Amino acid sequence: MFEFGRDLRRLFEKARDSDDLGWLELVGLGLVEVEARQQSIDAGRVSCARPHDAALRASALWREHARRCGAATSLEKAEAAARDAVRHAHNDDETIRATLELAQGGMLAFDLCGEPARIEAVLGLLKTLPVARRGDTAAAVAALHARLRARQATLSGQTAAMLDAAAMLDAALHGLKGQQRPLEDDLRMERAALALEAGLAARDPRLLDQAGRDLRALVEAASPDQRPLSRARALALCAAGMAALAAIAGDGTARDQAHALFDAAADQFTPDHSPLDWAAIQVLRAERETLPLLVLVQAEALTEGGGLVLGALAHERRVAQEASRAGSIGDLSALLEIEAGLRRRLVRPSVVSTPLDWVSDQIGMARIALARARWTGQTPRELGLMLVEAAATAREYGAPTLAQRAERLAPKTEAA
């Protein structure tokens, strides 16, 4: 007889022991932390039969927790577990696998908090690896190298560099030969993101079509009942691309389609399931549409205090939309109140404030000054220099999106 509860528990235990951690997409953030903590305890036991593999698994679990919530402590625990795996390695293959796990933690730290030096450090770490003798290990090394180069290409903003990096991702995909599905999906997502960005920059239909095909395949392959986060990430990138094209073409129908895609992405999971994924979707859509202020306040609350790039972006979007609302009706009192809040942050930064937080505040101050100038006729002073410095700092710390927001304001400043 089929016993639903017992069979579900049996399948869950089987999934927990699998090398494929895709099942984690189905469990909430709290359970991911519980699993990571338990795996760390198991890996540290004297009686642990395979401490290398156990430590690798603990590191991957902590890394997934950090990816969803941005916790610095989880990144630190992932790194510690990866170093334990290196220490327990018995051969070159195990050393490479453990070092790759350590390198993935460094790459995630860059994704979360910026600083291009982190990418250079990880690339330097890969140079220390012995030659991989197993084909799957060599393919994993090539995949990580391609992903790192893709990030550098995005930072450069150069179309040629992005196309070269996309070709590297493509070659890495072929090298995997269908053996590591989660990694393949990451490679496809990053290849699609590069093709989309390069296609938008160059107005190249071929690149946009390629990005569309990749994203469509990712959405279709990611069942909402099995891989909601992968599906949401692909839908959000589809929506961002559609919204950008709609803005370029002035197409209202395309804009409505982008809104629907953003809604579909956000509906795949709840904010507490993966706070950073949910906040990222809201920040992306706030770039192209006006959101309820409560949504932006929640996105900022989920990302603040950890020195996250996403936190700086969420803060900038919330201030931008508040300033836009107040400026559209000439509410100078509201503009002054927003400005006072920004000044307090600048004068008394918190312990975890970063240069990117400073950048977001500078952009906010510029927006307030421009909004006020439209109603008072007082020409903003020195805003051009402020925005140039903010953009330069954002690029230095690996946040090109934040830099672009500062740069987009500069022509208005000069016109004023």
Question: In this structure, are residues 287 and 317 in contact, taking their beta carbons and an 8 Å threshold?
Answer: yes
Name residue 138's amino acid: A
Name 335's Cβ contacts closer than 8 Å, sequence gap at least 6: 323, 326, 327, 368, 371, 372
Copy the structure tokens of residue 357. 């937080």
Give the C-alpha separation, 117 to 122, whole Å: 9
SS3 content of the chain, % helix, strand, coil (to 5): 80, 0, 20
pLDDT number for residue 11: 42
Q: How confident is the model at residue 363 (pLDDT cuts 50, 70, 90)?
A: very high
Examine the pLDDT at 36 and tell me if it is beyond 90.
yes
Q: How confident is the model at residue 154 (pLDDT cuts 50, 70, 90)?
A: very high
Residue with the larger pLDDT of the pair 247 and 340? 340
Give the C-alpha separation, 27 to 20, whole Å: 14
Give the C-alpha separation, 168 to 162, whole Å: 10
Examine the pLDDT at 350 and tell me if it is beyond 70.
no
> Cα-flanking dihedrals φ and ψ of residue 17, to 5°?
-90, -5
pLDDT number for residue 365: 94
Give the C-alpha separation, 305 to 357, whole Å: 10
Q: Quick count: other Cβ atoms within 10 Å of Cβ 120?
A: 14
Give the C-alpha separation, 246 to 288, whole Å: 10
**C-alpha radius of gyration, the chain, whole number:** 23
Q: Quick count: other Cβ atoms within 10 Å of Cβ 205?
A: 9
pLDDT > 70: what percent of the chain?
Answer: 93
Integer CA distances (angstroms), 267 to 78, 185, 217, 340, 406, in order = 29, 21, 19, 36, 31
pLDDT number for residue 19: 61
Give pLDDT tens digits for 83-138. Answer: 999 999 999 999 999 999 999 999 999 999 999 999 999 999 999 999 999 999 99
pLDDT number for residue 170: 94
Q: How confident is the model at residue 328 (pLDDT cuts 50, 70, 90)?
A: very high
Instruction: List the Cα angle 226/61/15 in 5-degree steps.
Output: 45
Residue with the larger pLDDT of the pair 379 and 414? 379
Across 337-367, b (16+ Cβ under 10 Å) vs e yields ebbeebeebeeeeeeebbbbbbbbbbbbbbb
Q: Tokens 């094209």: give the residue.
A: 245
Name residue 175's amino acid: G
Q: How confident is the model at residue 373 (pLDDT cuts 50, 70, 90)?
A: confident
Half-sphere exposure of residue 31: CA atoms within 13 angstroms, side-chain side: 9
Tell me what the mean pLDDT of segment 256-281 comes to: 95
Q: How confident is the model at residue 177 (pLDDT cuts 50, 70, 90)?
A: confident
What is residue 207's DSSP assignment? H
Within 203-328, where are the H helices?
A: 205-221, 228-249, 252-266, 275-286, 293-303, 309-328
Copy the structure tokens of residue 368. 């307030």
Examine the pLDDT at 339 and tell me if it is beyond 90.
yes
Q: Quick count: other Cβ atoms within 10 Å of Cβ 29?
A: 18
Q: How confident is the model at residue 7 (pLDDT cuts 50, 70, 90)?
A: very low
Element housing 356 (H / E)? helix 355-376
Name residue 216's amino acid: R
Give the C-alpha separation, 60 to 31, whole Å: 14
Name 288's Cβ contacts closer than 8 Å, sequence gap at least 6: 240, 243, 244, 246, 247, 255, 258
Q: How confident is the model at residue 305 (pLDDT cuts 50, 70, 90)?
A: confident
Give pLDDT tens digits for 202-241. Answer: 888 889 888 988 999 999 999 998 899 999 999 999 999 9
Copy the structure tokens of residue 150. 């893709």
Q: Output the average pLDDT for the chain.
A: 90
Tell me what the mean pLDDT of segment 35-63 comes to: 95
Helix (H, G, I), strand (E, B) or coil at 101: helix
What is residue 25's DSSP assignment? G
Q: How confident is the model at residue 3 (pLDDT cuts 50, 70, 90)?
A: low
Q: How confident is the model at residue 9 (pLDDT cuts 50, 70, 90)?
A: very low
Q: How confident is the model at residue 388 (pLDDT cuts 50, 70, 90)?
A: very high
Give the C-alpha separation, 355 to 292, whole Å: 28
Tell me what the mean pLDDT of segment 355-368 comes to: 94
